[in-house]
Amino acid sequence: MDLEQNDTQIEEIAAYDGEFDTSERTTPSVPSESAIDEEAFKAKLLPQLDDADITTNSEQVFHWEIKDWGALPEKLYGPTFVLGDYSWRLYLFPEGNNTPCVSVYLAAEPFDENAISSSETDGPPSSINQQLKPSTPPKEWAVCAQFGIVMWNPEEPTSFTYNSANHRFTSEESDWGFSKFHELRRLFVKQSPLETPIISNNKVNFSVYIRIVNDPTGVLWHNMRNYNSKRATNFTGLKNQGATCYLNSLLQSLYFTTSFRDAVLQIPTDSETDGIPYALQRVFAQLNTSEAPVGTLQLTKSFGWDTADAFTQHDVQELNRVLMDNLEGKMKGTAVEGALNRMFVGQFKSYIKCVNVDFESSRIEDYWDIQLNVKGMKNLEDSFKDYIQVETLDGENQYMATGYGLQDAKKGVVFKSFPPVLHLQLQRYEFDPMRGDTIKINDRYEFPTEVDLSPFLDEDSRDPNESYVYELHGVLVHCGDLNVGHYYALLKPTADGPWYKFDDDKVTRVTMKEVLDDNFGGDPPPTDSKLSPTRPASYWRHNSAYMLVYLRKSKLHDILFDAKLPETIVNREHQLELEEQQRRREKEEQHLYMTLRVGTVERQFKNYSAFDLAVFPVKNEGPGFGQQEQPAEAHADKLRISKLSTPGEVLDHLVATYPNLDRRSIRLWSMVHRDNHTYRLNEPIMDRYDITMEKVAYKHCNNTSEMNCFLEVPSEEQFQSFGCDARAMYAPKDRVRGERLLLFLKYFDPATQTLRGIMSYPVYSEDPTSTLLPVIRRAMGWPETVGVRLWEEIKPEMIEPVDVEMATFNSAELVNSDIITFEREYTEEELDAMVPADEFRTPVEYYDFLVHREQVIFRHRVDPEAEKDGIVKHVAEPIPNLSLWLHQNASYDTMAAKVAANIGVEATHLQFFTSTLQGQVIAPVRRGPNGHGHQQHSGGATVYNILHQNHSYSNILYYDILTMSLHEFETKKLVKFLWLPKEGIMHEQRHESLLPKTATVGDVVAELPGKVDGLKPEDREQIKVWLVQGHRIEDLLLPQFPVISLQSYQQLCIGLQSDEEVAYYDQQQQLQQQQPPAGGAHQQYRLIEVFHFYRDLSNTHGIPFTFVLKRGEKLGETRLRIQRTLGMFDKVFERVKFAIVRRGVGNGSSSGGTGTTGSIGSRATTGNIAETDAFNGYEGSVTPSTGVTTTTTNTTNSSSGTTPSDGSVSLSTSSSVRPVLRYVYDAEPENGPGSTGYNEDMELFAEIGDNECLGLDHMNRAPRRRMAGERAILIKS
Taking the C-alpha atoms of residue 1093 and residue 1107, their distance in angstroms, rounded to an integer, is 17
Least confident of 111-120, 510-519, 868-877: 111-120
Q: Which of 802, 835, 868 is the last residue of a domain?
A: 835
CATH code, 792:
3.10.20.90
Least confident of 579-583, 605-609, 810-814, 1166-1170: 1166-1170
* Beta-bridge partner residues of 424: 370, 548
Whether the per-residue pLDDT at 1217 is higher than 50: the answer is no
Beta carbons of 198 and 187 less than 8 angstroms apart: yes
Non-local (6+) Cβ contacts of 1251 within 8 A are 1114, 1115, 1116
Taking the C-alpha atoms of residue 822 and residue 745, their distance in angstroms, rounded to an integer, is 7
The single-letter DSSP state of residue 574 is: H
Q: Which of 151, 183, 213 is the last residue of a domain?
A: 213
Taking the C-alpha atoms of residue 279 and residue 578, their distance in angstroms, rounded to an integer, is 18
**What is the model's pLDDT at position 5?**
34
Higher pLDDT, 712 or 918: 712
pLDDT band, very low/low/confident/very high, at 1082 (cuts 50, 70, 90): low
Residue-wise pLDDT for 359-400, tens only, equals 998 899 999 999 999 988 999 999 999 999 999 998 888 888
Residue 223 domain flag: no
Residue 149 domain flag: yes
Beta carbons of 236 and 229 less than 8 angstroms apart: yes
Are residues 823 and 872 part of one domain? no
Least confident of 93-107, 470-484, 1026-1040, 1234-1248: 1234-1248
Taking the C-alpha atoms of residue 1255 and residue 1114, their distance in angstroms, rounded to an integer, is 8
Taking the C-alpha atoms of residue 875 and residue 864, their distance in angstroms, rounded to an integer, is 10
Non-local (6+) Cβ contacts of 748 within 8 A are 754, 755, 821, 822, 823, 842, 843, 846
Are residues 859 and 824 part of one domain? no
Are residues 881 and 923 part of one domain? yes
Taking the C-alpha atoms of residue 774 and residue 888, their distance in angstroms, rounded to an integer, is 38
pLDDT band, very low/low/confident/very high, at 717 (cuts 50, 70, 90): low
Least confident of 331-335, 424-428, 1121-1125, 1235-1239: 1235-1239
Non-local (6+) Cβ contacts of 1257 within 8 A are 1111, 1112, 1275, 1276, 1277
Residue 1 domain flag: no
CATH code, 200:
2.60.210.10
Least confident of 203-217, 904-918, 1173-1187: 1173-1187
Non-local (6+) Cβ contacts of 84 within 8 A are 57, 58, 111, 143, 212
Are residues 685 and 786 part of one domain? yes
pLDDT band, very low/low/confident/very high, at 14 (cuts 50, 70, 90): very low
702: left (phi over 0), alpha (psi -120 to 50) or beta: left
The single-letter DSSP state of residue 1223 is: -
Residue 1060 domain flag: no
Beta carbons of 943 and 889 less than 8 angstroms apart: yes
Cα atoms in the Cβ-side hemisphere of radius 13 Å centred on 718: 19
Taking the C-alpha atoms of residue 1228 and residue 694, their distance in angstroms, rounded to an integer, is 93
**What is the model's pLDDT at position 115?**
53
Whether the per-residue pLDDT at 1234 is higher than 90: the answer is no
Higher pLDDT, 27 or 327: 327
**What is the model's pLDDT at position 731?**
77
Whether the per-residue pLDDT at 525 is higher than 80: the answer is no
Nearest by Cα to 1063 from 1012, 1121, 1103:
1121
1132: left (phi over 0), alpha (psi -120 to 50) or beta: alpha
pLDDT band, very low/low/confident/very high, at 1243 (cuts 50, 70, 90): very low
Residue-wise pLDDT for 540-582, tens only, equals 457 889 999 999 999 999 999 888 888 888 889 899 889 888 8
Are residues 815 and 872 part of one domain? no
Residue 675 domain flag: yes
Whether the per-residue pLDDT at 21 is higher than 60: the answer is no
Supply the range of the domain harboring residue 914: 852-970
Is there a cis peptide before residue 124, judged by omega within 30 degrees of 0?
no
pLDDT band, very low/low/confident/very high, at 316 (cuts 50, 70, 90): confident
In the chain, how many domains are there? Answer: 5
Residue 1009 domain flag: no
pLDDT band, very low/low/confident/very high, at 934 (cuts 50, 70, 90): very low
Residue 324 domain flag: no
Least confident of 867-871, 1139-1143, 1255-1259: 1255-1259
Percent of the chain with pLDDT over 90: 42
Terminal-residue alpha carbon distance, the chain:
102
Whether the per-residue pLDDT at 836 is higher than 90: the answer is no
Non-local (6+) Cβ contacts of 254 within 8 A are 260, 261
- Predicted TM-score (pTM) of the model is 0.59
Percent of the chain with pLDDT over 70: 78
pLDDT band, very low/low/confident/very high, at 510 (cuts 50, 70, 90): very high
**What is the model's pLDDT at position 301?**
84
* Average confidence score pLDDT of the chain: 79
Are residues 477 and 594 part of one domain? no
Beta carbons of 683 and 700 less than 8 angstroms apart: yes
Enumerate the active-site residues. 245, 486
What is the pLDDT averaged over residues 644-668?
91
Are residues 654 and 553 part of one domain? no
Are residues 1077 and 1211 part of one domain? yes
Would you tell me the crossing angle of helices 276-289 and 567-588 to the nearest 10 degrees?
80
Non-local (6+) Cβ contacts of 1104 within 8 A are 1028, 1031, 1032, 1033, 1089, 1090, 1091, 1092, 1191
For the chain, give percent helix, strand, coil, nearest 5.
Answer: 25, 30, 45
**What is the model's pLDDT at position 858?**
94
Q: Which of 768, 803, 835 is the last residue of a domain?
A: 835
Are residues 155 and 201 part of one domain? yes
Higher pLDDT, 1027 or 967: 1027
CATH code, 355:
3.90.70.10
pLDDT band, very low/low/confident/very high, at 309 (cuts 50, 70, 90): low
Residue 680 domain flag: yes
Residue 987's φ and ψ, nearest 5 degrees, are -100, 40
What is the pLDDT averaged over residues 945-969?
86
Are residues 497 and 409 part of one domain? yes
**What is the model's pLDDT at position 311?**
52
**What is the model's pLDDT at position 78?**
92
Residue-wise pLDDT for 229-287, tens only, equals 889 899 999 998 887 888 899 999 999 999 999 999 999 888 788 888 999 999 999 99
Whether the per-residue pLDDT at 822 is higher than 70: the answer is yes
**What is the model's pLDDT at position 1160?**
33
Are residues 804 and 860 part of one domain? no
**What is the model's pLDDT at position 308?**
58
Are residues 892 and 828 part of one domain? no
**What is the model's pLDDT at position 1252?**
55
Long-range contacts, stretch 485-491, CB < 8 angstroms, 24+ apart? 485/541, 486/245, 487/245, 487/246, 487/248, 487/249, 487/313, 487/316, 488/245, 488/248, 488/249, 489/248, 489/249, 489/250, 489/252, 489/253, 490/514, 490/515, 490/519, 491/252, 491/253, 491/256, 491/549
C-alpha angle 78/84/87, rounded to 5°? 25
What is the pLDDT averaged over residues 457-466?
86
Nearest by Cα to 1251 from 1277, 1224, 1216:
1277
Complete DSSP assignment for 314-366:
PPHHHHHHHHHHHHHHHHTTSTTTTHHHHHH-EEEEEEEEESSSS-EEEEEEE
pLDDT band, very low/low/confident/very high, at 859 (cuts 50, 70, 90): very high
Burial of 59 (0-12, 13-18, 19+ CB in 10 A): middle
